[in-house]
Amino acid sequence: HPDHPEMGERHVTFGRELWIDREDFMEDPPRKFFRLAPGREVRLKGAYIIKCEEVIKDEHGKVVALHCTVDMDSRSGSPGAERKVKGTLQWVNAGDAAPVEARLYEPLLDEFDESEDIDRKDFMARINPNSLIVQRGYAEHAVAEEPVGWVCQFLRVGYFCKDRDSTDALPVMNRVVPLKDSYRP
């Protein structure tokens, strides 16, 4: 943690190709969207300020790449880092990333609706079919090297614990506590 040097430090690589969450980009954002958009600047957490210059799409119109410029004078902790931008994004160096499986747990039982005509004892009728959402993504390669039970925070997503189902090729991370997302469309 940057505010607690006694917790140690780690070095994260920065490269030419970076990945961000798909949710952190909008081509035509609403006014209060403080993430990446064409012509906008954001800070990459612990790194530099970038500006989206070009949006690349596939033949179906899906965004597949963003070409951005980096302000090399804006590195976090440097004198040039004092320039303010509205958004800060989590990111990973594509050349140094490891695939991960994230298990996002929601309440197992849906709320009981008094107006519904169901047997209160039949809890199976209240099972939430979306109580487990499994997503694939990428994280720093260090996640793959950590032991089962290791706990970390994925920025703006929540706190995760490494599951015993993890393999050397695919770490499995269980979300223990979600974080509130302040952006509302």
Reported as a single tens digit per residue, the pLDDT across 130-163 is 989 999 999 999 999 999 999 999 888 899 999 9
In the chain, % helix, strand, coil (3-state, to 5) comes to 15, 35, 50
**β-bridge mates for residue 98, sequence order:** 139
50 token code pair: 């970038």
For the segment 46-100, what is each residue's pLDDT rounded down to a tens digit? Answer: 999 999 999 999 999 999 999 999 999 999 888 888 888 999 999 999 999 999 9
Q: Is residue 17 part of a domain?
A: no
Which of 89, 107, 128 lies at the terminal end of a domain, its last residue? 89
Q: How many residues does the structure list for the chain?
A: 185
Give residue 77's domain range. 22-89
Looking at the 3D structure of the chain, how many domains does it have?
2
- 101 and 64 in a single domain? The answer is no
- 58 and 76 in a single domain? The answer is yes
Per-residue pLDDT, 79: 85
What is the C-alpha separation between 2 and 58, in angstroms, rounded?
Answer: 39
Which of 62, 89, 116 lies at the terminal end of a domain, its last residue? 89
CA nearest neighbour of 19 among 81, 74, 72, 64: 64
- 106 and 137 in a single domain? The answer is yes
Per-residue pLDDT, 185: 56
DSSP state of 143: H
What is the C-alpha separation between 173 and 60, in angstroms, rounded?
Answer: 32
What is the C-alpha separation between 55 and 14, in angstroms, rounded?
Answer: 21
- 104 and 75 in a single domain? The answer is no
What is the C-alpha separation between 170 and 64, in angstroms, rounded?
Answer: 24
- 116 and 173 in a single domain? The answer is yes
- 115 and 182 in a single domain? The answer is yes
Sequence-ordered strand ranges (E) for 33-86: 41-44, 49-57, 63-71
The CATH code of the domain that includes 35 is: 2.40.240.10
- 108 and 185 in a single domain? The answer is yes
